[in-house]
Amino acid sequence: MFKNFIIILVSLVIMNSCDKNNKMLKEDINNKDNIVYSLVENDLSEDDIKSLLYSYEIVAKPPYNAKLLFLEKIKFGIPGGDNWLAEWSSRDGGNGGTLVLYLIKNNAIKKHYYSIGNFDMQVHSRFDIMKDIPGIHIRNGTSSLGDFNEDGIDEIFQYGFYGMGFSVNIWGYDAEKDDLVTYCDIPFRIIDAENGQAPVEFMTYKGIDGFKVYYAETVVAGGPNDIPETPLGNDKWFFYTWDEGEKKYIRIEEVKDGE
């Protein structure tokens, strides 16, 4: 009798343990931060992401019938999910577009960040000013995706063509601001739209990695009524490198011919 009681007691303990394990497994699977969800999230295909972005069109793109032109999973440093960079077609139907950065987790868009336009290079230069820029070139525009400061996180290089002047920008993510920031904003000039050379060259200069820019500031400090004067630094090559302490690219010095 006592032996039968012991057998029944052991069976009840085993069954209770199994129930607890099953309950814990269900809770783990339903936990959004559990690795099971991370595996599902990482299994999303590019087609899945495209469908998700089109379904998110109210805030994913401008209020017109935009088309998705470019899509790339990137390491931009935004925590809490996968980082995807997309380009949507422009309103005027030109070759340029709008870059939007997305934070995606568990088959849902958690947040999106707007960058600036990806400009059509052919409008500004027949010479290919992008051909030697490292990284993944975003279509035939003036933007490239890559780890330019070699910190293990992607950034966006961009030639920006604006009404008031042209500028070289490298965009990154600022965790404190939870927003995109520009690591440099350097005015430049197209040297020769037909024959080149490109106004930016990535290089190692005096043992330092960085890039040189054909510097040209065209915005007059006093406004359009000011008498324009050519700044002393214009039409010269200047070398820039990443400063980890300041979290931006800083100017080192002028690069002379032959250096």
| Of 241 and 31, more confident | 241
With bands split at pLDDT 50, 70 and 90, how would you rate the model's confidence at 76? very high
Contact status, residue 183 vs residue 247, Cβ threshold 8 Å? yes
Is the predicted pLDDT of residue 224 greater than 90, yes or no?
no
User: Mean pLDDT, to the nearest integer, of 207-236?
Assistant: 75
Q: Grade residue 41 by pLDDT with cuts at 50, 70 and 90.
A: very low
Q: Which of 4-13, 39-48, 89-98, 104-113 has the lowest mean pLDDT?
A: 4-13
Least-confidence region, from 16-25, 60-69, 75-84, 86-95: 16-25
- Work out the average pLDDT over 75-87: 96
Question: What value does the mean pLDDT take over residues 212-223?
Answer: 77
CA angle 198, 200, 203 (to 5 degrees): 115
| 222-246 average pLDDT score | 77
Q: Please choose, from the candidates 122, 66, 74, the residue with its C-alpha nearest in 3D space to the C-alpha of residue 97.
A: 66
43 or 55, which is more confident: 55
Closest residue by Cα to residue 199 from 212, 209, 186: 212
Instruction: Take residue 20 and report the two structure tokens written for it.
Output: 């607890």
What's residue 2's pLDDT?
Answer: 43
Mean pLDDT (the chain) is: 80
Q: Which pLDDT band holds residue 229 (cuts at 50, 70, 90)?
A: low
Mean pLDDT of the region 241-258: 93
- Region of poorest pLDDT, from 42-46, 74-78, 104-108, 243-247: 42-46
pLDDT at residue 102 in the model: 94
Q: What is the pLDDT of residues 169-201, one digit of tens each?
A: 999 999 999 999 999 999 999 999 999 999 999
pTM (two decimals): 0.77
Residue 252 pLDDT > 60, yes or no?
yes
For range 135-151, the mean pLDDT? 96
Structure tokens belonging to residue 215: 């510097």
Residue 156 has pLDDT above 90, yes or no: yes
> Is the CB of residue 148 less than 8 Å from the CB of residue 171?
no
CA dihedral 176, 179, 182, 183 (to 10 degrees): 30
CA angle 75, 80, 86 (to 5 degrees): 45
